[in-house]
């Protein structure tokens, strides 16, 4: 995405763990392979019990993927903020015109306050861009979560 600001939505900070989730789900695939080996080798059964506990943690990761879906709603809100920022650019032009005319009218003061609020909106739009990028990763996590659930069913069997 284009330029980013130093600050952003709080949700972006909370969402930083999604890359870690991706690595943990990849580890779940490895666990699935290890469970298959356990079915073939009875003497590794004790190790399978440990893997079963690790696999239960994969179910927790699936819940975190669901939280990623909530971020999708926040991305939509950030798109609305982008439209508001575009309107703020128009307001900034009107404020500049008022200053050039040397008029201290009440409307110009209101416009100046609205433009000041645009800086916060710009930060939120940047955070929305980051959320959009991270949401794409969540779709992959969802697919891996489904694979983890299938492995869980196989382990239970």
Say how many domains are in the chain: 1
Give the whole-number percent of the chain exceeding pLDDT 70: 61
Ranking 27-31, 78-82, 83-87, 103-107 by mean pLDDT, the lowest is 103-107
Residue 157 has what DSSP assignment? Answer: -
Q: Report whether 61 contacts 145 (CB < 8 A).
A: yes
Q: Is the pLDDT assigned to residue 6 strictly greater than 50?
A: no
Q: Please state the rounded mean pLDDT for residues 54-74.
A: 71
- Mention every residue, 6+ apart, whose C-beta is less than 8 A from residue 104: none
The reported pLDDT for the residue numbered 12 is: 52
Cut 0.85: pTM above it: no
Please tell me which residue, 154 or 69, carries the higher pLDDT value. 154
Q: Looking at the domain assignment, is residue 86 inside a domain? A: yes
Look up tokens 């955070």; give the residue.
127
Please tell me which residue, 90 or 1, carries the higher pLDDT value. 90
The reported pLDDT for the residue numbered 30 is: 78
Q: Which of 17, 66, 31 lies closest to 148 in space, CA to CA?
A: 31
Summary mean pLDDT of the chain: 70
Q: Is the pLDDT assigned to residue 38 strictly greater than 50?
A: yes
Q: Looking at the domain assignment, is residue 1 inside a domain? A: no
DSSP letter string, 11-23: HHHHHTTHHHHHH
CA distances from 132 to 79, 84, 147 (A): 10, 18, 24
pLDDT tens string 102-142:
656 666 777 777 777 777 777 777 777 777 777 777 777 77
Q: Looking at the domain assignment, is residue 144 inside a domain? A: yes
The reported pLDDT for the residue numbered 69 is: 66
- Mention every residue, 6+ apart, whose C-beta is less than 8 A from residue 103: none
Q: Looking at the domain assignment, is residue 7 inside a domain? A: no
Q: Looking at the domain assignment, is residue 97 inside a domain? A: yes
Cα–Cα distance measured from residue 36 to residue 145, given in angstroms and rounded to the nearest whole number: 18
Give the whole-number percent of the chain exceeding pLDDT 90: 0
Q: What range does the domain containing 65 cover?
A: 12-156
Look up tokens 């284009």; give the residue.
2
Distance of CA 86 to the CA centre of its chain: 24
The reported pLDDT for the residue numbered 1 is: 46
């Amino acid at each position: 995405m284009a330029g980013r600001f130093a600050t952003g939505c709080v949700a972006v900070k909370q969402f930083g763990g999604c890359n870690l989730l991706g690595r943990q789900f990849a580890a779940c695939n490895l666990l699935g392979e290890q469970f298959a080996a356990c079915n073939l080798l009875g003497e590794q059964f004790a190790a399978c019990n440990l893997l079963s506990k690790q696999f239960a943690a994969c179910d927790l990761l699936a819940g975190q993927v669901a939280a990623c879906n909530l971020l999708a709603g926040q991305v939509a809100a950030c798109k609305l903020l982008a439209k508001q920022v575009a309107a703020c650019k128009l307001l900034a032009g009107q404020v500049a015109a008022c200053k050039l005319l040397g008029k201290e009218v009440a409307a110009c003061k209101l416009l100046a306050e609205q433009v000041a609020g645009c800086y916060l909106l710009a930060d939120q739009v940047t955070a929305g861009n980051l959320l959009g990028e991270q949401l794409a990763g969540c779709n992959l996590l969802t697919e891996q979560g489904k694979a983890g659930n299938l492995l869980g069913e196989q382990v239970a069997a």
